[in-house]
Amino acid sequence: MADLPSLWTHEPHHILTFRPGDKVADIDAGATPGFDGSKSDAPELQAERNERFAELQEMLYANGRAGDSRSVLLVLQGMDTAGKGGIVKHVVGAGNPQGIDYTSFGVPTAEEKAHGYLWRIRNALPAAGQVGVFDRSHYEDVLVVRVHNLVPPEVWAARYDEINAFEKELVDSGTTLVKVAMFVSLDEQKRRLAERLERPDKYWKYNPGDLDERKLWPAYQEAYQAVLDKTSTGYAPWHVVPCDRKWYSRLAITELLIEALKSLGMSWPPADFDVDAEKKRLTQA
């Protein structure tokens, strides 16, 4: 726990990892697992950890430039209003855009539909040195697609194994996956939707369809349970993040990213030139 701020009593990547037998119905979206502080501690801590994330992210980028083929991929899944956008803005946004590769996945386009569901995903994978961010992902193909019967059951049912095989391939090729399932309670979702309707600067986030999806929460719970049960693997585990308190979810996901980057055991790439000779040349330049 060397690098972890003392307000964390447990390492987020341990305490938030989905474990076999965990039930989506039991998730307390208002909880703050592993964190002993309060909202008032968050701004200062978030700023400090954003800097740490930015440093490690730049180190990954620098190593990528120096020939290291590794990358990190943050996969964000969550119900509407869970706060994916806030993670992108307030957590990932602290990084250097040169090394961030953001992709959001919406309803597949005609071109995307003409290919298998992993086609658009493969096209968006992060290159060496990049932190990729998937705002929704291939998991939509076993979530919204399952809930709305967009393909026959035997088709979506086969996808869990396909996704596991795909992610294994990804991890083996040097991509560290950080999969985050963001859970917001129905009460908090209602409050956030109401806020969007009250504020003209938030209308752009409001989608009338969100109210229809809200009614389908039991079916989504079932679909999320299946995702967590079937695709939380040793090489690509799911993290379950309670999101009713935005300050907590942002702190937690920042730590998940920091931990993933630290696990790469990086240092700054050495100079590929003679530093002393260059210093001498510069004095004469």
Using CB under 6 A as the criterion, which residues of the chain lie in contact with ligand ADP when the complex forms?
Answer: 80, 105-108, 136, 140-141, 144-145, 150, 207
Please, which residue, 51 or 212, has the CB nearer to ligand ADP?
212
Give which of 208, 209, 215 is closest to 186, Cα–Cα. 215
Instruction: Give residue number: closest CB to ligand ADP.
Output: 140
CB 76 within 8 A of CB 134: yes
Distance CA 198, CA 261 (A): 39
**β-strand pairing of 100-104 with 71-78:** unpaired
Tell me the HSE value of 57 on the side-chain side, using a 13 A CA sphere: 28
Nearer to ligand ADP, 215 or 279 (CB): 215
Nearest CB to ligand ADP, comparing residues 107 and 282: 107
**How far is it, in rounded angstroms, from Cα 208 to Cα 201?**
16
Q: Shortest gap between Cβ of 120 and ligand ADP (angstroms)?
A: 9
Pick between residue 199 and residue 281 the one whose CB is nearest to ligand ADP: 199
Comparison of 85 and 174: residue with beta carbon closer to ligand ADP: 85
Which tokens go with 152?
């026959």
Q: How many Cβ atoms from other residues are within 10 Å of residue 38's Cβ? A: 12
**Shortest distance (Å) from residue 144 CB to ligand ADP:** 4
Task: Compare residues 109 and 267 and give the one whose CB is closer to ligand ADP.
Answer: 109
Least separation, in Å, of the C-beta of 119 and ligand ADP?
11
> Tokens at residue 79, please?
């119900």
Angle between helices 217-231 and 159-172 (to 10 degrees): 50
Phi/psi of residue 71, nearest 5 degrees: -150, 170
Determine whether 134 is exposed, middle or buried from the number of CB atoms within 10 Å of its CB (0-12, 13-18, 19+). buried
CB of 102 to ligand ADP, least distance (A): 12
Helix (H) or strand (E) holding 132: strand 131-135
CB of 143 vs ligand ADP, minimal distance in Å: 7
Name the residue nearer to ligand ADP (CB basis): 13 or 159: 159
- Closest approach of ligand ADP to the CB of residue 276, in Å: 52
Q: Tokens for 177, please give them.
A: 């996956």
Q: How far is the CB of 97 from ligand ADP (least distance, A)?
A: 20
State the Rg of the chain over Cα.
20
